[in-house]
Structure 1
Amino acid sequence: MVQTAKVTKLLEDGRAEVAVKRQSACGHDCSKCGGGCSELMVSSTVAVVAENPVRAMPGDRVTVESSTGGVLKAAALVYLAPFVLFFLGYFLTAALGMTEGVSAACGGIGFAAGVVLAIFLDRHVRKSRGISFRITGIEPAA
């Protein structure tokens, strides 16, 4: 995935911290997905650490590439794990003959467990640099 970002600071190991706008599923073309994008999502930014082989300086607008495979795996985990565990908890208890209320409660517990699992795995991916960023170019000043 290629994005435009702004360098916020240089790090001692030759990398740089950059501010990247969060991308929506429709790439900010809300007409593609029925206008479902929120203003909050469009304007939010994330600070990430990127390799800096082009020696960009703080304040520079740069082109950043990220590993798409890692992004897709993380998104699948974060969005799917809670729902899979919800349905697993619900249907397993229903199959065991539990009442609908107990099945719903177990489904809710499964959903909560999936959210906690997603948070821990997201932190692990960030620490292990499962999603890597690289500055590939400096954009000319406007």
Structure 2
Amino acid sequence: MSEGDSVRLPRNRVRPAQEEQLDFSLYLASRAMTTHYREALGDSGLTFPKYLVMKALWEHGSIAVRDLRALLQIDSGSLSPLLKHLEAACLVRRSRDIDDERRVTISITPEGAMLRDPVTAALDRPRISPSVSPDDCLYLAARLDALTSKSTD
């Protein structure tokens, strides 16, 4: 097959099962969202997972690591490196509870707080498509929440 050739699918090709169509649609949506966030967050130095941590801190001020894990539905092995990177960038501070050394609290630093306005402004631009209304986004989020809650039960 030469470089300009394309693969021809048979005309009587069976449509994929609904679940496979959903999988592919979710995959494409995930790619689109990843691209959107990569572009919007580019100047801040945040990745999407780091942004989620910062957003939680902008909303809560400080939070125990175990509560942050539960809020973001993320495991320790994924959260710990994020927190180390954010701490190395002076955006967050980790501190141990005086009464219980096992309890670690994450707090936002002044530098981390200063990121809030520019990051929020960058993310206020239309997401994937201007044809997707805020109501559509709420509906899709609710349907995806229902899908993921059933898959984790």
Structure having greater relative contact order (Cα 8 Å, sep ≥ 6) = 1
TM-score clears 0.5? no
Specify the TM-score bucket, using the shorter chain as the normaliser.
under 0.3
Q: Larger strand proportion, structure 1 or 2?
A: 1
TM-score, structure 1 length as denominator?
Answer: 0.24
TM-score, structure 2 length as denominator?
Answer: 0.23
Q: Larger helix proportion, structure 1 or 2?
A: 2
